[in-house]
Structure 1
Amino acid sequence: MTGGPLLEVRGLAAGYGAVRVVRSLDLVAEPGTVVGVLGPNGAGKTTLMLTLAGLLPRLSGEVLVDGKVLASARPAAANRAGLVLVPDDRSLFSTLLVRENLTVANRPGGYTLDEVVDLFPALAPRLGVPAGALSGGEQQMLAVARALVQRPRVLLIDEMSMGLAPVIVEGLLPVVRRIADETGAVVVLVEQHVRLALEVADRAVVLVHGEVVRSGPAAELAADPEALEAAYLGAGTAPAPA
């Protein structure tokens, strides 16, 4: 991981109208880094992801990819810069076949169909099946695969485990680590399964009421579960040393 930060977020405030849901958030991530974004419901995690992807306007602050400031509320520009969002509702084309969901999103330099199948072997026998007929786990695999064929430089995954059994999540989250390692992309992962997220992440931040109350190397946060629990409950709000 060389060449400086791939993703920088400086003093980001985000929300809806005059209501600030995320306040003064800073984030720096080198290539090949997995950043876990943790926090209770209503903490502002999804608002953060939508703002990074350009789907919501920034109220203040900057988002930079490779040192270049992205325009606010310009999702097409963010996507061209390499920011690709996997939303919590997956947003698949349910009537299209699995193969078609992948081919319509494909870009030169993105994952190929063979590489996607290697990453998610369960999709191999399902390529000719409509996306709406897939299981929840298969749909999540397809949603991530559809993002990968777009050649992401920053992959935003919002609640990968939404509606999935823990055993499915345990099989999916290690793929996130592999994606970062193999492609050099930054992966920003919003995840409710804290322990599993910290196992695959390099760094993590805990959001509570839109503010970062704890941050640091994932291993350090995982090693102090009491402090992590206190952060979730709103106690001990001083950020952990980086």
Structure 2
Amino acid sequence: MSLRLTGLTAGYGKLPIVRDLDLEVPGGSVTAVLGPNGSGKTTLMRTLAGLLPALGGEVTVGQRRLPNGRPATANRAGIVLVPDNRALFTGLTVAENLQIARRRDGRPLEEILELLPALRPRWKVAAGSLSGGEQQMLAVGRALIQNPQVLLIDEMSMGLAPVIVESLLPAVRHIADNTGAAVVLVEQHVRLALEVADDAIVLVHGDVTLRGRAEDLRATPERLEAAYLGGESITAAG
């Protein structure tokens, strides 16, 4: 099931942070949202999850247009956010964190362990005792057990060493390929994100300065650099 944004403007109060964004993420694909700090990436993710009311435009999942600023409705439509702070119950075990997040139509626990096998040996360990990488994997697992149609992952690498990120990000590709979810990935590690994504956009001060196929953007680092510096809106050839 696809995610479609049409003319989406997002921000706080009457202040727009992301302006007039058009984007389509097909089911089973990964779109990376890149850009410097303060460019509007987290604002975008919170708006898609219904945690912030949009200031304009539409969000559609499949054929369903979502009402504005209603997180419960967005969640029922299949949108699930993995926030940058992970939001785990640190005193509960891995198993308990997953069980408490599962809803009636959610995925079986065993299926989550097949998608994220690194969690299996940590099944009875409290979330607060996990490594940073394991905690991030558990946060993704808590989202997956809700059987999302659209999976939003905000800064998967937050606070993690690059070597850990390098082992985590391929799981995003595996999830899209094996669940059919449309995945939106906000990520600061540009090279690693482009290795697992199908498409990407660069946001700078709330505007898209570059968009295209991930493989094309990987091949033109000079265009990425120009986009991060806020060059005119451009589309990568592909």
**What is the TM-score with the length of structure 1 in the denominator?**
0.95
Q: Distance in 1 between matches of 2:73 and 2:223?
A: 39
Alignment-derived partner of residue 127 in structure 1: 123
After superposing on structure 2, the runs of 4+ consecutive aligned residues of structure 1 that deviate more than 6 Å are none
The secondary structure found in structure 2 opposite 1:104 is helix
Give distance in 1, aligned partners of 2:39 and 2:218. Answer: 20
Alignment of 1:121-200 (within 5 A): 121-200=117-196
2:66 equivalent to 1:70: yes
**1:63 to 1:81, Cα distance in 2 relative to 1, 3 A:** same
| AA partner of residue 100 (structure 2) | V
Q: Contact (CA 8 Å) 2:31, 2:200: kept in 1 or not?
A: yes
Matched, 1:14 2:19: no
Per the alignment, in what secondary structure is the counterpart of residue 114 of structure 1?
A: helix
1:22, distance to aligned residue in structure 2 (A): 0.3
Distance in structure 2 (CA, Å) of the matches to 1:167 and 1:116: 23
Report the alpha carbon displacement of residue 179 of structure 1 after superposing the two structures with TM: 0.7
Separation of aligned partners in 2, 1:69 and 1:115: 30
1:103 aligned to which of 91, 99, 103: 99
Structural RMSD (CA): 1.3
The answer to whether the Cα contact below 8 Å between 2:216 and 2:237 also exists between their aligned partners in 1 is no
Q: 1:140-171 deviations in whole A, cap 9, x for unaligned? A: 00000000000000000000011111111111
CA distance in 2, matches of 1:239, 1:14: 22
CA contact (8 A) 2:213 2:236 kept: no
Counterpart-to-counterpart distance in 1, 2:164 and 2:116: 12
Matched letter for residue 89 of structure 2:
F
Q: 1:108–1:151: 8 Å Cα contact kept in structure 2?
A: no
Q: Which residue of 2 aligns with 1:39?
A: 35
Measure, in 2, the Cα distance between the counterparts of 1:120 and 1:33.
18
Instruction: Provide the rounded CA distance (Å) in 1 between the counterparts of 2:90 and 2:45.
Output: 23
User: Which residue of 228, 233, 238 maps to 2:229?
Assistant: 233
Is the contact made by 2:211 and 2:234 (CA closer than 8 Å) also made in structure 1? no
User: Which deviations, in whole Å up to 9, do the C-alpha atoms of 1:188-235 show, x marking residues without a partner?
Assistant: 000001011001100000000001110011111111000101100112
* 2:66 counterpart letter in structure 1: L
Alignment of 1:81-100 (within 5 A): 81-100=77-96
Q: Matches of 1:219 and 1:50 in 2, distance apart?
A: 27
Q: How does 1:204-215 map onto structure 2 within 5 Å? A: 204-215=200-211
TM-score by length of 2: 0.96
Tell me the amino acid that sits aligned with residue 11 of structure 1: G
Please say which of residues 107-116 and 6-15 is displaced more in the overlay: 107-116
The one-letter code of the counterpart of 1:203 is D
Task: Report the CA distance between 1:108 and its aligned residue.
Answer: 4.3
Residues of 2 paired with 1:238 and 1:125: CA distance? 46
